[in-house]
Structure 1
């Protein structure tokens, strides 16, 4: 374990990621201390005592059978909803494509009629 003094104002540490204040003295493992010193966020200190920071990672427990069943039910419902929404979107896309084709055909016919009328007038 190494005792270091914090020199940067943007350092967050510990399991709760609390902000460490500039000038505070903390005791951390050697690897963390060397990383902080290399990054210019901490320096060695001659003080004798500091707050000990422990970096622990909690592992979640395995979900129970009831929880798994509930999660699976939610997943199935979500997948059904995604399929339904996808089908609706595809149907809307098809309807839009058909409407666009009809309008394009109408515009082409109107343009052809305008060209024919213009040729007649000459």
Structure 2
């Protein structure tokens, strides 16, 4: 950790973008201090104490990951059910089309028989 004195009026730091006041001394991580010194935003301080800045990174918790895998398994099951329903619907459509073709053929044969019967009756 390094003590730095802020030189600029518009320096923000931390996860909540806390505004750092010019002239104040802060205790920050060495790598951040080096970067700010190179940019001319701060200078190293010889004071003994400064306000400590903590930079945090949030990570997802374990229950979220297990909940996601549970949700994914439910989605996979639903997808399989959907695929099964689609194949069943296609099979029923084919059966209906076959039945319609058979009925159409039977009706055509009946009309042909009727027309022949009418010819013979005349």
TM-score, with normalisation over the residues of structure 2?
0.51
Residue of structure 2 in register with 1:55 after alignment: 55
Tell me how far apart the structure 1 counterparts of residues 44 and 55 of structure 2 sit (CA, whole Å). Answer: 20
**Secondary structure of the equivalent of 2:31?**
helix
Q: 1:55: Cα distance to partner?
A: 1.0
Residue of structure 2 in register with 1:29 after alignment: 29
Residue of structure 2 in register with 1:65 after alignment: 67
Structure 2, unaligned runs of 5 or more: 76-122
Shift >4 Å, 4+ stretches: none
Residue of structure 2 in register with 1:38 after alignment: 38
Residue of structure 2 in register with 1:86 after alignment: none
Structure 1, unaligned runs of 5 or more: 74-122
Tell me how far apart the structure 2 counterparts of residues 55 and 4 of structure 1 sit (CA, whole Å). Answer: 15
Q: 1:14: Cα distance to partner?
A: 1.7
Q: Which has the larger radius of gyration?
A: 2
Tell me how far apart the structure 2 counterparts of residues 11 and 28 of structure 1 sit (CA, whole Å). Answer: 13
TM-score, with normalisation over the residues of structure 1?
0.51
Q: 1:15: Cα distance to partner?
A: 2.6
Q: How many residues align?
A: 73
Q: What is the CA deviation profile of residues 15-39 of structure 1, one whole-angstrom value per residue up to 9, with x for unaligned ones?
A: 3211101011001111110100000
